[in-house]
Structure 1
């Protein structure tokens, strides 16, 4: 996966890809409502902010409601993007949305779009919960500038360490679907995988006075999707991964973690450049303070069996407060990756 070990491409076209969980959960269901902080402002701003920044491909999660899809589509059409949100029947169960710059899609085809619901689910999320059924979207098209066929996968797997068996099965299912893509095509798979590559200790965080355990098993699905899908983590390939270094340096968990992010806000300057889900994010701290490990849960992976692409760079995106507001665009940060696609 070392980009420096690969020979350079003779000719290439850059492809800028963003994966982001935009965190627009705002749903009533029997006897309850789930509404994330600052959702009204963020749902108006997210399409404007994300579609103004020049991304070629956006793979988004937690665009749960049709009204939010409509806001994104309005901006997407105005700025020259195509979209795929799955079916009217299933979209609000998975909340996934893919946007691709129209000029990059060869109108001669192929143009194949699929919506998949994972076989194994946390059933309570559907009923009596808010109606979730985890899954992934896929979109196969020919990249007009190069002629390379690209297969996009947008995923959001089940959360929490205690549900690792469900998430592991989902990672395997996704990986096997990716493995079916012909070797002469380029796969880009991204999303909120709710699993990190590394946690230094199995015990961290506290919920209702009980210390949280099981973080080591929360790494399993990361390894599984890499294995079954024959994928490469672009953030690591770009030399940006610092999970081990930064997490090994955390102070021991204690009451100070609930008082301020990571127990020491000064640590956030480094963490926000390396991790996507941390208490350094004000929206995350408001919802999850001192209950979860800071982690890199969001990824852009790729599979390139024929040497069609190179990773130029990758970075954590949208870490700053939203304009004049005191909060961020989402409770997760995004992951942006620039690939160089062979102009064959």
Structure 2
């Protein structure tokens, strides 16, 4: 299942869920009467920010790390990531006792860099562009020989991310729609993988920042359109789709909605206030998109995946520009 163009199956997701059980949490689902009234929908929030490394990506990372044979594992793992995948892969590698090297943009939030280092990950910084990231990673992998665990264009990672939707469906009495943020598309792909078999009647909706809307434009054009260095407050959604995630997006996603940075910040504040959970800007994009497109969701049972909670508390977006 290492070949990037291998299309993971529902059975791969089931095997992943069994494999990663000791290393993940079955995260809770929260509801809010206020947010239901505000949107006109019945919203269910799956709190993946409550995972130990603070993000859903521990699912795919753990599946990749604990699926390695001993000879591969001895050389460790390596990846490039704006933050959460780096943190989660470092955590999984620590749990297995193997090395982890990660390439991160120098502009990545300090909180995410700190988390990587806390779990023993070794960081190499690069400029904040896809080109720079991939060039720096090529050097790191050549030097370390670590197994490349791509943040999202990896069948092991997608199978692991699909376990979230399985739990979500078990925790709710059926959903009309499931909404998640989209950057590279790992979570959306895993969601599509699971729901296509488990609940094909549930529509998969992706939500994306307007200022990094390459997935939206790809979806409308019918082929991948990649931006090299988009800028948005949703720093976890800066990467483009790849072949494997495009397969799932193009075949299974019903719609992609976008939201502005200002709308994302407002949605983030609403979730902090009314769900009382800490989550990062990328995780607020689904609610921002729902608020912007109320008619599409009104009267529906809507699942929302809160993908991560690794936020720099000293640099909250609504505090920017104030005197310190």
User: What TM-score, normalized to structure 2?
Assistant: 0.29
Q: TM-score, normalised by structure 1?
A: 0.27
| Greater Rg over alpha carbons, structure | 1
- The structure with the greater share of residues assigned to strand is 1
